[in-house]
A and B are shown apart, each in its own frame.
Chain A
C-alpha cells in the first residue's frame, strides 16, 4: 500500500485492522500536495523587492510625479504620437514591399539580381541605423541636384534641386524604410525557404513559371512563418523611430518630450511620459499580433480552438438530441 506521508503509516496500520474487522473500503488517503519551500522563498523575496522599488519610486522626489501627470495627456504629446505612428506605418510599408522584392531577388536564378540583393543586404544590415539616418540627413549636401536623363553629357528631362528641399520627414521615412527592408528581406527569405520543396516541384509539374510559383503557391504559404517576426519588427520599428533626432526631426513623440524638457528643465518626468505612451502603443500592437498569428495558424495543428470545440459540441448535441 503506497503512502504519501509518514503520518499515513498510522492510518495504514489502522486500515488493515479495520479491514480485518469489517469488510468496508480502506479510509481515503489524505493526500497533501508536495511542499515546495523554494517557490515560497522566491515569491516572498520578489514581492518584497517589487514593493520596495514601487515605494521608493513613489516617494523619490527626482521622479517629479506631479509633472508626469500634468504632461501625460498633453495635446502636444498626442501630436508627437501621431507623427511617430505615421513614421512607423510608412517605414514598415516601404520595408515590407522592398523586403519582399529583395528576398525574391535573392532567391532568383538570375545571378546579377542575386548579387545586387546580397550587396544591398550586406550594406544596410552592416551599418547602424543611427549612422544611416545621419547619412540621409546629409544626402542633400552630397547629392545637391538629381537629374533624370542620358548620363555623360546627354540631354536631361527633369531636374530636382535636393539641396533646397528641407524634407526632414521624407528622409527619416526613407532612411528607416530602407534599413527595415534589409531585415524584412531575410525574414521573407526564411519564410519562403520554409515552404517545402515539394510545393515548388508540384507547381513546376503543373506548368507554372517561376514567377507564378512564387506568387500563387509559395508566398501565401510562407505567410505563417513571416507574420510573427514581422509583427516583432513592427513593434521594434515603433521604438526605432525615436532615432530620427539624427536628421533632426523633432516632431515625433521622443522629440516633443525633449523639446518640452529643454524649456522646463525636467527631463525625467517627460521621458517617463514618452516611455509610457510607447508602452501603451506597443501593447495594443501586441494584441493585434496575437490575433493575426491565430488567423494564419488555422488548421496547422490538430489542437482545436475553443470556438471549434464549441461548434463540435453543438453539432454533437444536436445529433444526440435528434437520436
Chain B
C-alpha cells in the first residue's frame, strides 16, 4: 500500500475524514411511511366488577405482559416513526386492559417461543393472531375474540385457483396454520391425484411473503384474511385477492392452561362486544368482516 509522505498525506487524510463526516451529518433525512395508517383511538373506561376478578399477581403488577410477534400487519406491527407496537390487536388489547384497570406491556418475541413462554410464566398471555385449533389447545387455553379465515392473493392478471394450485409456488409465513396445516393438505391432495406438489415457500416474515408475490418470485400467497386484505390494499395494482375466505377459525389469546386470567379476559372482551366498542375498533382497522358477537374459551372446532 503506497504511503503518502509526511504532512501533506496526514492533512489529506484528516480532510477526508472531516469531509466525510460533514457530508453524512448534513444529509440526515426524516422519512415517514405514507402507508402507516393513522387510526382513531376508542376510549374505554374501567369496569370495577371485572377488575376485581383479575388474579392477584397481575393486579399487583398493574399490567398484562403480552407476548407478540411482529410484524403481522394490520394486526400487530411496529410503527417505524415512533417505534411503538400498533395494530388492530393492540387497540383491542388496550381496550380490554383499560376495562380491567390495567395497562398492556407488549413484549416482542419469536412466534414459536410465545406459547412456551406462556407455559413458563414469562408472559401472561399471547396476542399474535393465533388461530385457535385443537392441537394448540393441548398446551394452552384460548380466549376467542375474532374470526378469520385463510385467503389467498395472486398477481394481477395471473389467476391461480386456490383449490388447484398443483405445481405452483405459494408463499407463507413460517409456523402459521397455512404453513403447517392448509398447504401441506392441499399439496397432498395434488400428489394423490397424480399432479405435481405445491412448492411451499416459507418466509420468516409476512411482509417478505407478500413482497415475494409483488416481485413475482411466487405465484400466490396464503395468509389470514385480514392480513391478505391489508397486503392487497398496500399494493393495489400489483396483487389482488384470490377467491373467497375459507376455513374460518377463531383467533384466540393463549393463556396458561387452567389460568384464572382466561375467564376474566373473556368477560372483558364480551363486555366490549356488548358495548359496541369492539365493533368500532374492528371498523377502524377495516377488519369488521371477521367480527364476532360472543367470546368463548377454547372454541376451536375439530
Listed in ascending order, the chain A residues whose CB lies under 8 Å from chain B are 62, 70-76, 78, 134, 137-138, 140-142, 144, 163, 166, 168, 246, 248, 250-251, 256, 258-267, 290, 305-307, 310
Whether the Cβ atoms of A75 and B28 lie closer than 8 Å is yes
Given the known inter-chain contacts A141-B122, A163-B122, A306-B3, please indicate yes or no for A260 contacting B29, CB distance below 8 A.
no
Q: Which residues of B contact A266 (CB under 8 A)?
A: 211
Bound CA span A264–B121, Å: 35
Q: Which residues of B contact A144 (CB under 8 A)?
A: 120-122
Whether the Cβ atoms of A264 and B77 lie closer than 8 Å is no
* A170 CB, nearest partner CB in chain B, Å: 14
Contact digits for B112-129, partner A, Cβ 8 Å, 1 yes 0 no? 010011001110000000
Whether the Cβ atoms of A62 and B215 lie closer than 8 Å is yes
B208 at the interface (CB under 8 A from A): yes
User: B33's contact among A134, A264, A290, A306, by CB below 8 Å, is which?
Assistant: A264
Q: Which residues of B contact A267 (CB under 8 A)?
A: 207-208, 211
Bound CA span A264–B211, Å: 10
Whether the Cβ atoms of A73 and B24 lie closer than 8 Å is yes
In the complex, besides A70-B29, A144-B121, 20 extra interface pairs with C-beta distance below 8 angstroms are A62-B215, A72-B27, A75-B28, A137-B110, A141-B121, A141-B122, A163-B121, A258-B205, A259-B70, A259-B71, A261-B207, A262-B71, A262-B73, A262-B207, A263-B79, A264-B36, A265-B35, A265-B214, A290-B1, A307-B6
* B116 CB, nearest partner CB in chain A, Å: 7
Whether the Cβ atoms of A262 and B70 lie closer than 8 Å is yes
* B233 CB, nearest partner CB in chain A, Å: 11
Whether the Cβ atoms of A265 and B110 lie closer than 8 Å is no
Bound CA span A263–B70, Å: 11
B210 at the interface (CB under 8 A from A): yes
Main DSSP-derived SS at the A contact region: helix
Main DSSP-derived SS at the B contact region: loop
Contact digits for B214-237, partner A, Cβ 8 Å, 1 yes 0 no? 110000000000000001001100
User: A310's contact among B6, B36, B73, B109, by CB below 8 Å, is which?
Assistant: B6
Interface residues on chain B, number (Cβ under 8 Å): 43
Bound CA span A258–B206, Å: 12
Whether the Cβ atoms of B80 and A137 lie closer than 8 Å is no
Give me the 10 closest cross-chain CB pairs, A-B, nearest first: A141-B120, A73-B27, A262-B71, A262-B207, A264-B33, A260-B80, A263-B33, A259-B78, A306-B3, A141-B122
Given the known inter-chain contacts A75-B30, A246-B110, A264-B33, please indicate yes or no for A306 contacting B5, CB distance below 8 A.
yes
Bound CA span A75–B31, Å: 8
**Residue of chain B at shortest CB distance from A262:** B71
Given the known inter-chain contacts A141-B116, A290-B1, please indicate yes or no for A262 contacting B30, CB distance below 8 A.
no
**Residue of chain B at shortest CB distance from A69:** B29
B182 at the interface (CB under 8 A from A): no
A-B contact pairs, 6 of them (CB 8 A): A73-B24, A76-B80, A250-B108, A262-B77, A263-B71, A266-B211
User: A265's contact among B24, B31, B116, B207, by CB below 8 Å, is which?
Assistant: B207
**Residue of chain B at shortest CB distance from A287:** B13
Q: Which residues of A contact B116 (CB under 8 A)?
A: 138, 141
Q: Which residues of B contact A290 (CB under 8 A)?
A: 1
* B256 CB, nearest partner CB in chain A, Å: 13
* A65 CB, nearest partner CB in chain B, Å: 15
* A27 CB, nearest partner CB in chain B, Å: 37
**Residue of chain A at shortest CB distance from B71:** A262
Bound CA span A222–B203, Å: 46
Q: Which residues of B contact A141 (CB under 8 A)?
A: 116-117, 120-122
Bound CA span A63–B39, Å: 31
Given the known inter-chain contacts A137-B113, A250-B108, A306-B3, please indicate yes or no for A263 contacting B73, CB distance below 8 A.
yes
